[in-house]
A and B are shown apart, each in its own frame.
Chain A
């Protein structure tokens, strides 16, 4: 006991530094983790405050989960979340690496810098702003797409109620917004590759394509793996704005836009179903944790050095 106190005293300066941040984590991250037990309760608000409400609410076991998984929604939101995220992760990786390699090869470096600045722009804007951009293209009467269709002699399309186009729109927008961000990371990694590899390969007669295939891509592999494992950890989490704001919360589009995050949000704000929304959130967190641990375990089995932890 005295040893511990002595140790704490010795580290008091660091402990004071870390204290405010640690307090934030406890209140805003760990207290909600404790709060997830209301997924197993019939949550009722008691006058004694949060803790009393949590403790005094009645246990209902897995009833909230049973309720969730007995609906079609559970299947739809899980499918949408996983397919969209898997698509965004894979295509995002290909796009970012391709852009980085191309940008690295461009002869005019100032032009490349200019492209990079332009491609970074969407990353700095909120989904609200981007939803306005999208609206200027998809508006039924005035939008660019429908003007074009009318010009071609076709019937205008009511975009915000036609489900079949939205998977493409959403994937495109997700890639478009983050392409600049992704390519920068890989561009920096390419810049860090030792030039002498390329010189040696050239002397051996390697073409540009050979160099990319046998030097650049293998050198980027660890970074690709690490970033993908981390992204897999979030495969059950979606960019809320993309799926809620961009389709303008259009009810007709729910079958293709509803993901776990939007489902939880609507469950909380519209239906006020605290228990089931919490259960859905817990399902999201637990499966997400399992997935990232599995992905990391798999990487560790194949190439120990590439594992994140």
Chain B
């Protein structure tokens, strides 16, 4: 208590031009250290597994068989990556599927979400309450997995088609809430009114005025969606049997227990003795690294959009 008033006095007395003094409301250096240590430890636990997997992927297979997974392996090796370069056709194929699904899916998502959210964000749209309810009720109640599965396989006949990986996840009510909140908070009514007076049509207003000033919101949803499609494996688990159509994450599931999958499906003939000596464990980990690397490298750059989207989405109405 006494300390506080003393330090307050010091701050008040210090001349404004002088070097900055410690903020009197800041926590003490001791607590700062304790907090830093605690959070730092947790933060490290969040990136450590990824670093560990990278190290394993560069470990020599024999060393790994003898010593187990280790942070400081005795012998390093590029064998896993060499193996993938030689017989990684399945990996390339799956990467292609993932990329295609991600690009097409994200474009469709942005189209559906932005048009829907824009319409229900406009107060002069008479049926906006009905369509808002149509979207938001799906957050409260759903038919469940099985009827959805039957619709995709028996009504739309999408089994073993790339659309089965895209259609079920291109839209959800949460994206619409985020986007609608973005439209209502950042697009001033005055702009729309003045455009109307100048004779712009509703479509003109939407494409030439609203979309350009809503780019941060579009980016947020685009990122949510990109990440969703890149990481998706559940749709493939349900709807895809054809090896040519399985995405990267699902390939990782299949090789989890069965390394043969990548060997059988590469066009290169792998003889039995090669198959017997192939670096299985490290190849698996190398594939995990390759499947994760794009996201791990890119995400610090798009993190700020995510944060923006999250904070907008959680605001009430």
Q: Chain A interface (Cβ within 8 Å of chain B)?
A: 7, 10-11, 13-15, 17-18, 20-22, 24-25, 27-36, 38, 45, 49-50, 53, 99, 102-103, 105-108, 111-112, 114-115, 117-122, 124-126, 128-133, 136, 139, 141-144, 146-147, 176, 179-181, 184-185, 188-189, 198-199, 202, 205, 207-208, 211, 222-223, 226-227, 233, 240-241, 245, 248, 261, 264-265, 268-269, 274, 277-278, 280-282, 284-286, 288-289, 292, 308
Contacts and interface: CB of A to CB of B under 8 A. Distances in A.
Contacts of A211: 25
B9 to A, nearest CB: 13
Interface in B246-304: 249-250, 252-253, 256-257, 281, 284-285, 288, 291-292, 295-296, 299-300, 303
Contacts of A31: 143, 147, 151, 155
Nearest to B137: A29
Contacts of B36: 106, 108, 111
A143 B39 contact: no
A21 B111 CA distance: 9
Given A139-B69, A227-B314, A128 B144 contact: no
A101 to B, nearest CB: 9
A274 B149 CA distance: 10
B27 A105 contact: yes
Given A21-B115, A36-B143, A132-B284, A176 B45 contact: yes
A133 B307 contact: no
B44 to A, nearest CB: 7
A74 B143 CA distance: 19
Interface residues of B, number: 103
Interface of B: 1, 4, 8, 24-27, 29, 31-32, 35-36, 38-40, 42-47, 49-50, 52-53, 56, 64-65, 68-70, 111-113, 115-116, 118-120, 122, 125-128, 131, 134-135, 138-151, 154-156, 167-168, 170-171, 176, 201-203, 206, 227, 230-234, 238, 249-250, 252-253, 256-257, 281, 284-285, 288, 291-292, 295-296, 299-300, 303, 306-307, 310-311, 314, 316
B236 to A, nearest CB: 11
A132 B46 contact: no
Contact of B144 (A108, A226, A284): A284
27 contacts: A18-B115, A21-B112, A31-B143, A31-B151, A32-B142, A33-B142, A35-B143, A35-B146, A35-B148, A45-B154, A50-B151, A105-B26, A107-B26, A112-B39, A120-B306, A121-B46, A121-B296, A125-B292, A129-B249, A179-B46, A185-B311, A199-B25, A233-B139, A248-B256, A264-B146, A282-B144, A289-B140
Nearest to A38: B147
A14 B122 contact: yes
Contact of B249 (A114, A126, A292): A126
A133 B118 contact: no
Nearest to A179: B42
A106 B252 contact: no
A226 B146 CA distance: 30
A49 B52 contact: no
A206 to B, nearest CB: 9
A124 B299 contact: yes
A184 B126 CA distance: 36
A108 B24 CA distance: 15
Nearest to B134: A25
Nearest to A25: B134
A125 B295 contact: yes
A103 B4 CA distance: 22
A141 B68 contact: yes
Q: Give the most central of B49, B120, B138: most A CB within 10 Å.
A: B49
Contacts of A223: 314
B146 A21 contact: no
A22 to B, nearest CB: 6
B203 A13 contact: yes
